[in-house]
């Protein structure tokens, strides 16, 4: 066992180096916003975060699968009941495909209701002779390439809080109030998906589920009383990047006395901010929410074990989800060493695959894009490598949208490189559209079954 953890207090991170933070022009204004956020109610409750940890513990034990998906960056401009509903719809469709196809319970986590802050490879963006701060998300500044827009404004953290609260409110209503009822499974198909091959495949599956429900009813099972058939648990998550937002929303749970970051149920640490002695790891170490940790191809077994020791000293199943994002060709080479080292260290982690972030390329048109084939190849390599190394391929972490965008190429209703500009709407990374997401879910269900 590792040495007893060093005592944690919520402000300790401020003594550490915090990467990827905006250069706020006015520290007094940031401080005032932090005070305002500190006085606001929590967005989620500690008990909900504990429930998610228990669900993730089942994933760690190989008895469930976790689907974590949503926008790369949520937008202040694209905020409506429809965009929230469409994202939930795809999440529900994908999880029903995986539950039915893979015969496994699926834990559903959105990258939603707080996924605003973005880490960037370069701190500046240059067009011609003009150089401005890179776009770090609507929680920091505007996305247009303009000096005034790109000036960091801490008041945006308040707007992010309110948008998150409204989003979460609607998600709770949809997931508990009838929309997510399994008896409505066939109504989740979106109009523009219906006529596609994967849309028709989904309709067949929905038909089978409806027949199974009727069969159960005919056998005398009171379908109306089975709560699990009529509502779902949808959890929220985002990258715990912007510490001036996360820290004031961190609260002590009155029941257990433990600290929770009440901005979301699950928080993750990104590939660029996972330094062992950095502020983000120090912050995440002391909050009791389930934590995700992104691992790129440079992560070494020793480094990963040290991070697991820091973030999960008590070896609690469901506490830590390791999200590998290496690129298809690198998975078979790098993942086995990580799996072996983590197993040896005794941390009961969830292994999840982010097949998006190491497969980003620039198309000749200049658009950042991802090929669905590369995404699927990484997912397949992940499942095979986990199996070959006696680890449970427990989850997938995706960037998607419920809209009919053209940001990633490929899929059965092929999006070609020349078509990327038709509906390229993302604020940051290219997302799978509704059809590509459904396509991926069917292929993943096949993989899990095989």
Q: Are 137 and 116 in contact (CB under 8 A)?
A: yes
Q: Is residue 152 part of the contact set for ligand PEP (CB under 6 A)?
A: no
Distance CA 174, CA 357 (A): 30
Site residues for ligand PEP, 232-261, by CB under 6 A, read 239
> Least Å distance between CB 430 and ligand PEP?
11
Which residues, 6 or more positions from 429, have their beta carbon under 8 angstroms from its beta carbon? Answer: 72, 73, 356, 357, 360, 368, 370, 399
Query: If binding is defined by CB under 5 A, does position 378 make contact with Co ion?
Result: no
State the nearest-atom distance from the C-beta of 82 to ligand PEP, in Å: 23
Minimum distance from CB of 399 to ligand PEP (Å)? 7
Span from 146-154, 173-181, 210-218, 265-273 in contact with ligand PEP (CB under 6 A) = 265-273
Chosen residue from 198, 261, 271, 312 binding ligand PEP by CB under 6 A: 271
The entry of Co ion, ligand PEP, none that residue 294 binds, CB within 5 to 8 Å by partner kind: ligand PEP
Among residues 325, 347, 371, 431, the one that binds ligand PEP under rule CB under 6 A? 325
Our measurement of the distance from residue 374's CA atom to the centroid of its chain's CA atoms, rounded to an integer in Å, reads 19
Q: In this chain, which of 30, 56, 72, 375 binds Co ion, going by CB under 5 A?
A: 72
**Interface characters, 28-67, with ligand PEP (x: CB under 6 A):** ----------------------------------------
Name which of 176 and 330 has its Cβ closer to ligand PEP. 330
- Least Å distance between CB 270 and ligand PEP? 3
Maximum separation of any 2 CA atoms in the chain, in Å:
73
Q: Which residue is nearest to ligand PEP (CB)?
A: 270
DSSP 250: E
Q: Is 153 in the site for ligand PEP (CB under 6 A)?
A: no
Distance (Å, rounded) from C-alpha 189 to C-alpha 186?
6
* Residue range at the interface with Co ion (CB under 5 A); choices 22-30, 242-250, 400-408, 426-434: 426-434
Using the rule CB under 6 A, which residue among 357, 431, 435, 443 binds ligand PEP?
Answer: 357
Long-range contacts of range 95-98, CB-CB < 8 Å, 24 or more positions apart?
Answer: 95/67, 95/232, 96/182, 96/185, 96/188, 96/205, 96/206, 96/209, 97/202, 97/205, 97/438, 97/441, 97/442, 97/445, 98/65, 98/67, 98/441, 98/444, 98/445, 98/448
Give the nearer residue to ligand PEP in terms of CB position, either 248 or 296: 296
Q: Which is nearer to ligand PEP, 90 or 358 (CB)?
A: 358
By CB under 5 A, is residue 429 in contact with Co ion?
yes
Q: Residue 342 and residue 349: Cα distance in Å, rounded?
A: 8
Ranges of beta strands (E only) in 312-442 are: 320-324, 350-353, 361-362, 368-369, 393-399
What's the angle, vertex CA 401, arms to CA 399 and CA 404, rounded to 5?
130
Q: Name the site residues for Co ion (rule: CB under 5 A).
A: 72, 429
Q: Name the site residues for ligand PEP (rule: CB under 6 A).
A: 72, 119, 239, 270-272, 294, 325, 354, 357, 429
């Amino acid at each position: 066992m590792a040495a007893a953890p060093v005592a944690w207090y919520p402000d300790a991170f401020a003594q550490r180096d915090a990467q990827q933070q905006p250069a706020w022009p006015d520290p007094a204004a940031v401080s005032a916003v932090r005070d305002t956020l500190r006085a606001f109610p929590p967005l989620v409750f500690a008990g909900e975060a504990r429930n998610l940890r228990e669900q993730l513990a089942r994933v760690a034990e190989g008895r469930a699968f976790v689907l974590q998906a949503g926008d790369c960056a949520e937008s202040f401009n694209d905020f409506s009941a429809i965009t929230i509903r469409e994202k939930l719809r795809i999440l529900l469709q994908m999880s029903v495909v995986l539950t039915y196809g893979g015969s496994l319970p699926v834990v559903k986590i959105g990258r939603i209701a707080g996924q605003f802050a973005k880490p960037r490879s370069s701190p500046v963006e240059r067009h011609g002779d003009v150089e401005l701060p890179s776009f770090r998300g609507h929680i920091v500044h505007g996305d247009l390439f303009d000096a005034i827009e790109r000036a960091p404004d801490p008041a945006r953290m308040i707007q992010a809080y309110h948008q998150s609260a409204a989003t979460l409110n609607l998600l709770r209503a949809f997931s508990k109030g009838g929309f997510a009822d399994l008896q409505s499974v066939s109504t989740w198909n979106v109009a523009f998906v219906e006529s596609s091959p994967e849309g028709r495949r989904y309709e067949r599956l929905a038909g089978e589920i409806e027949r199974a429900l009727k069969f159960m009813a005919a056998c005398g099972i009171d379908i109306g009383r089975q709560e699990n058939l009529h509502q779902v648990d949808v959890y929220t998550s985002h990258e715990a990047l912007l510490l001036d937002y996360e820290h004031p929303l961190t609260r002590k749970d009155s029941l257990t006395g433990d600290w929770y970051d009440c901005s979301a149920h699950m928080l993750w640490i990104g590939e660029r901010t996972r330094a062992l002695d950095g502020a983000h790891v120090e912050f995440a170490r002391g909050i009791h929410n389930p934590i995700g940790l992104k691992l790129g191809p440079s992560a070494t077994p020793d480094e990963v074990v040290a991070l697991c020791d820091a973030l999960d000293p008590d070896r609690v199943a469901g506490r830590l989800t390791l999200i590998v994002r290496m690129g298809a060709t690198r998975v078979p080479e790098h993942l086995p060493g990580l799996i072996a080292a983590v197993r040896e260290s005794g941390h009961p982690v969830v292994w999840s695959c982010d097949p998006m972030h190491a497969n980003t390329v620039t198309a000749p048109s200049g658009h950042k894009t991802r090929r669905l084939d590369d995404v699927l190849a990484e997912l397949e390599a992940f499942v095979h490598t986990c199996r070959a190394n006696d680890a449970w391929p427990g989850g997938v972490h995706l960037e998607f949208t419920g809209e009919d965008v053209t940001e990633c190429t490929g899929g059965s209703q092929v999006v070609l490189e020349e078509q990327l500009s038709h509906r390229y709407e993302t604020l940051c990374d290219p997302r799978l559209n509704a059809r590509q997401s459904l396509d991926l879910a069917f292929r993943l269900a096949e993989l899990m079954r095989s």
